[in-house]
């Protein structure tokens, strides 16, 4: 760990004033074969004002102070908790936009992963999904895993992990939900879905970011894939596709490795919901997968107030009678690449979202635009 150098400023104001009167003046001497020497001349009289304009600090009208002679050091390894330190060399880019997603290698130790699995094993039950209309929990075939919840601050490990999650997400612990631990056996999956809410109560304090921690890796399959994204070109060019299952090859994806953590944002920087954040937990082909999920909200989880969540909607082409979207889902389809993948339908039905309109422009605003 590189130590920070912190200057120790110990000189008094009188010494500073005295230093300001020290000048460096070059002169030549015949006894030294014309060699230039430098001497220090102390000005003890206010009348000896021989400073030139070039010598003076441009803003303060005086010479800059010399660097301090003494320094104190601080060792970050001993003064900073590991829960507040992240190593940028462990970060891998999954997607830079739609969604913003990054993988952090070795976010958790093997011991932490094993402890969390052992702590949750005895309380596993069939996983549910959030009902889009009511916000309640419902059973669904799109999610076939089993799971349990670990409350905020439930034990010392969770307290450390929650601080680490707060550092990774740059959002306080009080914005986090309880941790959900999930187990996926062979053929079990979680089909494409969004983590943000559509019901009125949930939208009052929606989920902004998800951190998915991998506690145990399967032999093959189980990737987290973003189906509204395109498969990276280098995956095909370098033959990396063989490392992914059929499901994992449907878009940008993270391969499950024990101790790694995937972070992705469900909202754009302005606060709009990001359709690109649709994601799926691919079926496990061989082995078993364990994960721990942290959902993080715009506001603290005890402050469900939609007035605290101001959304800035990005600008774009303006609707007109001759050029407009015919479906409210057009923006999401367009961001998912449908303008290119399905141009026959999109170019005619989603002209605004596919940027087919010429002329008017709609400025960004906190008022939701009418796009159809």
CA-to-CA separations, 269 to 39, 161, 312, 313, 335, in angstroms, rounded: 59, 25, 9, 10, 15
pLDDT at 247: 96
pLDDT at 14: 47
pLDDT at 284: 97
pLDDT at 265: 96
Residue 329 sits at the vertex; the CA angle it makes with 201 and 349, to the nearest 5 degrees, is 160
- Residue 156 — φ and ψ, nearest 5°? -60, -40
| Listed residue (93, 94, 103) closest to 259, CA to CA | 103
pLDDT at 245: 96
Residue 156 sits at the vertex; the CA angle it makes with 154 and 157, to the nearest 5 degrees, is 90
CB 208 within 8 A of CB 274: no
Please state, as a whole number, how many other Cβ atoms lie within 10 Å of the Cβ of residue 325: 23
**pTM for the whole structure:** 0.64
DSSP 370: -
| Mean pLDDT per 10-residue section of the chain, whose length is 372 residues | 42 46 44 47 46 52 64 52 78 94 94 94 77 56 82 92 94 93 94 85 84 97 95 90 95 96 93 91 96 93 61 66 80 79 87 77 63 52
Looking at the DSSP bridge assignments, the partners of residue 137 are: 130
| Listed residue (145, 227, 218) closest to 188, CA to CA | 145
Cβ burial, residue 13 (10 Å; 0-12/13-18/19+): exposed
């Amino acid at each position: 760990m590189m130590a920070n150098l912190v200057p120790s400023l110990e000189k008094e104001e009188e010494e500073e004033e005295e230093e300001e009167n020290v000048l460096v003046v070059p002169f030549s001497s015949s006894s030294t074969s014309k060699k230039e020497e430098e001497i220090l001349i102390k000005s003890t009289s206010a009348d000896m004002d021989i400073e030139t304009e070039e010598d003076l600090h441009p803003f303060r009208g005086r010479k800059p102070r010399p660097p301090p002679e003494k320094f104190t050091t601080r060792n970050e390894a001993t003064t900073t908790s590991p829960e507040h330190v992240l190593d940028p060399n462990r970060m891998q880019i999954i997607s830079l936009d739609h969604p913003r997603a990054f993988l952090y290698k070795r976010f958790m130790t093997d011991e932490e992963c094993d402890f969390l699995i052992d702590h949750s094993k005895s309380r596993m039950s069939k996983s549910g999904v959030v009902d889009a209309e009511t916000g309640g929990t419902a059973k669904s075939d799109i999610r076939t895993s089993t799971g349990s919840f670990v409350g905020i601050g439930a034990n010392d490990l969770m307290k450390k992990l929650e601080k680490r999650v707060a550092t990774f997400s740059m959002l306080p612990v009080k914005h986090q939900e309880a941790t959900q631990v999930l187990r996926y056996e062979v053929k079990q999956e979680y089909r494409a879905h969004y983590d943000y809410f559509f019901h009125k109560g949930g939208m009052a304090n929606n989920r902004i970011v998800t951190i998915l921690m991998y506690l145990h890796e399967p032999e093959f399959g189980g990737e987290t894939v973003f189906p509204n994204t395109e498969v990276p070109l280098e995956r095909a060019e370098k033959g990396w596709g063989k490392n992914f299952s059929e499901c994992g090859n449907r878009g940008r994806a993270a391969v499950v490795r024990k101790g790694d953590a995937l972070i992705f944002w469900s909202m754009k920087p302005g606060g709009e919901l990001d359709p690109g954040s649709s994601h799926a937990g691919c079926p496990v082909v061989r082995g078993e997968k364990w994960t721990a999920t942290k959902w993080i909200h715009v506001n603290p989880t005890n402050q469900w107030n939609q007035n605290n969540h101001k959304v800035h909607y990005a600008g774009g082409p303006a609707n007109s009678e001759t050029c407009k979207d015919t479906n409210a889902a057009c923006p999401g389809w367009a961001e998912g690449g449908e303008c290119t993948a399905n141009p026959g339908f999109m170019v005619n039905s989603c002209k605004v979202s596919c940027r087919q309109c010429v002329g008017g422009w709609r400025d960004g605003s906190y008022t939701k635009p009418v796009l159809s």
